[in-house]
Amino acid sequence: MVYMVIITLLISFVFCCYFFGNKNGLPTNWPLVGMLPALLKNAHRINDFMIEVMEKSDMIFQIKGPWCTNMNLLLTVDPANIYHVSSKKFGNYGKGAKLNEILEPLGDGILNTDSNIWLFHRNVAQSFTNHPKFHQLLVNTTFQKVESGLIPILDHVCKDGIEIDLHDVFSRFMYDVMSIIMMDHDPSSLTVELPNFPLLKAVPSMEKVGISRHVVPTCIWKFQRWLNVGEEKRLKQETKIVDDFIYECIDRKKEKILIQGASSSSKDIDNEVSHVDLLTLLILDENKNTKSLVIQNNDKFLRDTITNFFLAGGETTSVALGWFFYLLSKNPRVLQKIKEELNTIMIPLKDQKNNIDRFLRNFKEVSNKLIYLHATICEVLRLYPSVAFTSHTPVEPDILPSGHLVNPNMQIIFNLYAMGRMKSIWGDDCNEFKPERFISEGNVIKHEPSYKYSVFSGGPRSCIGKQMVFIQMKIVAAIVIQNYHIQVKQHDHVPDSSFILHMKDEFKVKVFRSQ
């Protein structure tokens, strides 16, 4: 009887907290439950809620969780704080043990590790992207997948007049491309039949559970994991799907290398573009430090490395492509300017069949001339950054430029979605879609500092794959815009609550051939 009274009182208290918050619009730190009621109340619109909080709190706000949790988040979009953490005092800030625990399905990869392990992964990424054949592999693979996968699908829906989920198409496109680049394996998910490909749902589902682990008390989600119920059960299932796919690719690659023999190592990699995949380089790397680490961690090391690069490269670009075409559908003026720029530089697809080699050889030169397209991609990522937020933990206590004291028990969250919509950073027109803000006099790209435009991070952790994103998006955008008209069915799309900024609903479109 006493327990029932206590439970009733607690539920009533949470109910009151839910509906009677701080009148200034900021979350109230209630006894026992902290700010959890405000978070639950706004869970369905968490991205817009964070914008409101940042606007009303002078770009920094501390989130406190229930008393029984260790939720202690400091949200900030203040450029001075971001520069301090990501660059000036970089050595005092890492991802931290808590984030590593939350993102444990990713293993020990570049996204959630610190110190020597992170540095090793970064060196691996730099070595891979700096390989003399990498740029050629990237351009060739992307264009070939456009030609063999994307164009046939678009032609098919044009002919039959049917709707298609463009986000699903771009996800398949990037999974195929990244799988070829990372593991020399084409899963062929991008075909007219749109075959079932479990990774398409598994990876986004893993991301969502990662978000919920930030909010749900650690003891609760660990108990769910132990019982194998709820979201933790789903996470286990989705992780197995990803693991099965990647471990199968690892086994296939090792068998292929074994058959080829020792003569197929570094010499063949230098001569065969098709072999310049990350997995091959990791397995055959003759550097002593790398070799010992691979042997020590065996397939688990390879799995963690590939999983992280797969997520960092594939998911982010496919999401960016979806938001790109969504914003173009709402801004015909921008679309027309891109078309005009392309018409002065590019060859339409129908006239390009016999000029593919020329197109690929001159892609770098052509790409550098696409100033307005480049600026448009920058503007898309400002409003819809592929990564919604980043997390940082102090190693030692510190004082931020804003005057806030931080300690190792806190997580500092950079909300990149809110940052791109701050009037104090981008001006009164921050919510307008204006690629011109990234073009300076003389028609050259205006480069914003990373502490203001943080979509590719900054400092030593700046995104190594930044140029990959622009190359792949320019190839897809140029060919699709020149040859097709995308008609969006639903004109208002909002982002989902996830680490990667997916659309909440399907991106249904109709496709027509350009006249």
HEC string for 257-318: HHHHCHHHCHHHHHHCHHHCCHHHHHHHCCCHHHHHHHHHHHHHHHHHHHHHHHHHHHHHHH
Nearest to 85 by CA among 410, 313, 385, 466: 410
Residue entry with tokens 């350009």:
514
The one-character DSSP state at 447 is P
Task: Tell me the per-residue pLDDT of 242-261, one tens digit each, with 9 for 90 and over.
Answer: 999 999 999 998 888 887 76
Nearest to 194 by CA among 171, 212, 161, 213: 171
Distance between CA atoms of 425 and 441, rounded to whole angstroms? 21
Q: Give the pLDDT mean for 445-459.
A: 94
Distance between CA atoms of 124 and 267, rounded to whole angstroms? 19
Q: Give the pLDDT mean for 220-240.
A: 90
The token pair that represents 290 in the structure block: 């790398």
Which range of residues forms the domain containing residue 304?
42-513
Distance between CA atoms of 122 and 116, rounded to whole angstroms? 10
Torsion of CA 141, 143, 146, 148, to 10 degrees: -70
What domain count does the chain have? 1
CATH number of domain containing 492: 1.10.630.10
- 221: number of CA atoms within 13 Å, CB side? 20
pLDDT at position 298: 79
Q: Which residues in 348-451 belong to E strands, given as ranges?
A: 389-394, 398-399, 405-406, 411-415, 439-440, 444-445
Distance between CA atoms of 87 and 69, rounded to whole angstroms? 30
Torsion of CA 35, 38, 43, 46, to 10 degrees: -90
Q: Give the pLDDT mean for 214-242.
A: 88
The answer to whether residue 16 scores a pLDDT higher than 60 is no
Name the more confident of 360 and 93. 93
Could you tell me the CA-to-CA distances from 241 to 165, 279, 307, 328 in Å, in that order? 23, 19, 12, 34
The answer to whether residue 360 scores a pLDDT higher than 70 is no
Q: Give the pLDDT mean for 70-94.
A: 93
Beta-bridged to residue 495, according to DSSP, are 503
**Domain annotation covers residue 155:** yes
Neighbours of 385 (CB within 10 A): 27
Q: How do strand 164-165 and strand 398-399 relate by DSSP bridges?
A: unpaired
Q: Contact at 8 Å (CB) between 164 and 509?
A: yes
Which residues have C-beta within 8 Å of that of residue 193, sequence separation ≥ 6? none
Task: Give the least confident one: 114-123, 332-341, 409-418.
Answer: 114-123
Nearest to 478 by CA among 318, 331, 333, 346: 346
Q: Give the pLDDT mean for 158-182.
A: 94
The token pair that represents 313 in the structure block: 């490269």
Helix (H, G, I), strand (E, B) or coil at 209: helix
Determine the length of the chain: 515
Helix (H, G, I), strand (E, B) or coil at 418: helix
Which residues have C-beta within 8 Å of that of residue 252, sequence separation ≥ 6? 185
The answer to whether residue 8 scores a pLDDT higher than 80 is no
Distance between CA atoms of 61 and 27, rounded to whole angstroms? 10
Q: Contact at 8 Å (CB) between 46 and 418?
A: no
| pTM of this structure | 0.89
Helix (H, G, I), strand (E, B) or coil at 181: helix
Distance between CA atoms of 226 and 232, rounded to whole angstroms? 9
The answer to whether residue 377 scores a pLDDT higher than 90 is yes
Instruction: Quickly count helices (H) and strands (E) in the chain.
Output: 23, 12
Among 39-53, 66-80, 333-347, 412-426, top mean pLDDT goes to 412-426
Neighbours of 227 (CB within 10 A): 10
The single-letter code of the amino acid at 192 is: V
Helix (H, G, I), strand (E, B) or coil at 511: strand
The answer to whether residue 456 scores a pLDDT higher than 70 is yes
Confidence class for position 19, pLDDT limits 50, 70, 90: low
Task: Give the least confident one: 178-182, 285-289, 299-303, 397-401.
Answer: 285-289
The answer to whether residue 209 scores a pLDDT higher than 80 is no
**Domain annotation covers residue 8:** no
Nearest to 107 by CA among 257, 248, 247: 247
**Domain annotation covers residue 447:** yes
**Domain annotation covers residue 37:** no
Name the more confident of 306 and 18. 306
Nearest to 483 by CA among 147, 188, 206, 246: 147
Which residues have C-beta within 8 Å of that of residue 398, sequence separation ≥ 6? 89, 92, 405, 406
Confidence class for position 275, pLDDT limits 50, 70, 90: low
The answer to whether residue 9 scores a pLDDT higher than 50 is no
Estimate the crossing angle of helix 199-215 against helix 166-183, to 10 degrees.
100
Could you tell me the CA-to-CA distances from 376 to 35, 82, 436 in Å, in that order? 38, 24, 8
Task: Tell me the per-residue pLDDT of 130-166, one tens digit each, with 9 for 90 and over.
Answer: 888 888 899 999 999 999 999 999 999 999 889 999 9
